[in-house]
Amino acid sequence: MREEIEKAILQTLIYSDIFDYPLSKDEIWKFLIGHKTRRESFDKALRGLSRVIFKKGLYCLLDKERTFDIRIKRRKESQKKIVIATKIIKQLTLLPTIQFIGISGALSLENSSKEDDIDLFVITSKGSLWLTRLTMIILLLLSGRYRRRNQREVSDKICLNMLIDESALSFSKARQNLYTAHEVVQMIPAFDRNDIYKKFMSENKWVGKFLPNSLDTKILGYKDIKIKETRSLSILVSQYLNIFLTFFENLAKHMQLWSIKKHVTTETVKDNFLAFHPLDYKKKVLSEYKKRVKLYEI
């Protein structure tokens, strides 16, 4: 049993090392790959590991000490970006079709460098995904924060890398993997309307197959930002929204599809699910993880 726990700990540190990201004890526990165990057994296994280094409250693999300073530096940069993200998200919540906005990617773990953009995960009302995305892009363009395709300088720009509507909360079998599980559980819920985040997590319990401890509500996690809804404008617009929604949703869809199809690479484009990943990070990360696990003979 102890050997299995030690193996899971090493696998977890190997995965985080791909991102130069040493972990605290609570984080190793939360992101422990593929193994559910009692905390007492986990603590004993971690203390007995000879292939890890403990410093500044963090753990990393041997010969990876440089990642301690990297994490500290990135945390400082990330805190600045979270302030920017919070201000932008607060403006976006004026849109009544937005049900949820989460900060995703590296920033959700406070692991962004100064040059990085800000990834947002968005859930929209049913049948409003395309119109919501178009409106968000316009608002972000007006604020100078929208990350354009092929843009070189992307620091602090907002990337709408995934949008789904509330009819597509559960990820398909094809997306159920270690990489996506991490993206789901590490996301920072910034704005939540009608408890849609709770529904989203309930529909994606499959993450427990890869990160079984992550579904434990007692685990210390990152604090939600909890941006409050600006209700006055939202309610006013909602009263008239349904009358025009279908027409403008179709119009917004055709306008954006015309642009997307000219540059399509690895994107997923559906009526209720949009994922924009020109570079297939999932494939790259999982391939690197598999290679490193083999290298460590685990």
User: Is there a single domain that holds both residue 8 and residue 42?
Assistant: yes
- Residue 124 pLDDT > 70: yes
Predicted confidence band of residue 242 (pLDDT cuts 50, 70, 90): low
List, for residues 189-202, the tens digit of each pLDDT value.
999 999 999 999 99
User: Is there a single domain that holds both residue 134 and residue 109?
Assistant: yes
Give all strands (DSSP E) within 86-184, no chain letters.
98-104, 118-124, 158-165
User: Is there a single domain that holds both residue 164 and residue 289?
Assistant: no
User: Is there a single domain that holds both residue 86 and residue 40?
Assistant: no
pTM: 0.87
Predicted confidence band of residue 244 (pLDDT cuts 50, 70, 90): low
User: Is there a single domain that holds both residue 276 and residue 291?
Assistant: no
Per-residue pLDDT, averaged over 85-113, amounts to 95
Burial 90-105 (b: 16+ CB within 10 A, else e): bbbbebbbbbbbbbbb
Write down the pLDDT at residue 229: 62
Residue 49 sits in a domain whose CATH number is: 1.10.10
Write down the pLDDT at residue 247: 65
d(CA 107, CA 103): 7
When mean pLDDT is compared across 40-44, 55-59, 162-166, 248-252, the lowest value belongs to 248-252
When mean pLDDT is compared across 71-75, 128-132, 213-217, 237-241, the lowest value belongs to 237-241
User: Is there a single domain that holds both residue 13 and residue 94?
Assistant: no
Give the DSSP H or E segment for 273: strand 273-275
- Residue 284 pLDDT > 60: yes
Give the DSSP H or E segment for 183: helix 178-186
- Residue 233 pLDDT > 50: no
Write down the pLDDT at residue 222: 44
Range of the domain at 35: 2-68+285-295
Total count of domains within the chain: 2
155 vs 224 pLDDT, higher one: 155
- Residue 220 pLDDT > 50: no
Write down the pLDDT at residue 249: 79
User: Is there a single domain that holds both residue 88 and residue 228?
Assistant: yes
User: Is there a single domain that holds both residue 139 and residue 189?
Assistant: yes
Q: Which two tokens stand for residue 254?
A: 């055709």
User: Is there a single domain that holds both residue 39 and residue 85?
Assistant: no
For residues 23, 275, 180, 177, the Cα torsion angle rounded to the nearest 10 degrees is -150
User: Is there a single domain that holds both residue 85 and residue 180?
Assistant: yes
User: Is there a single domain that holds both residue 57 and residue 101?
Assistant: no
User: Is there a single domain that holds both residue 88 and residue 18?
Assistant: no
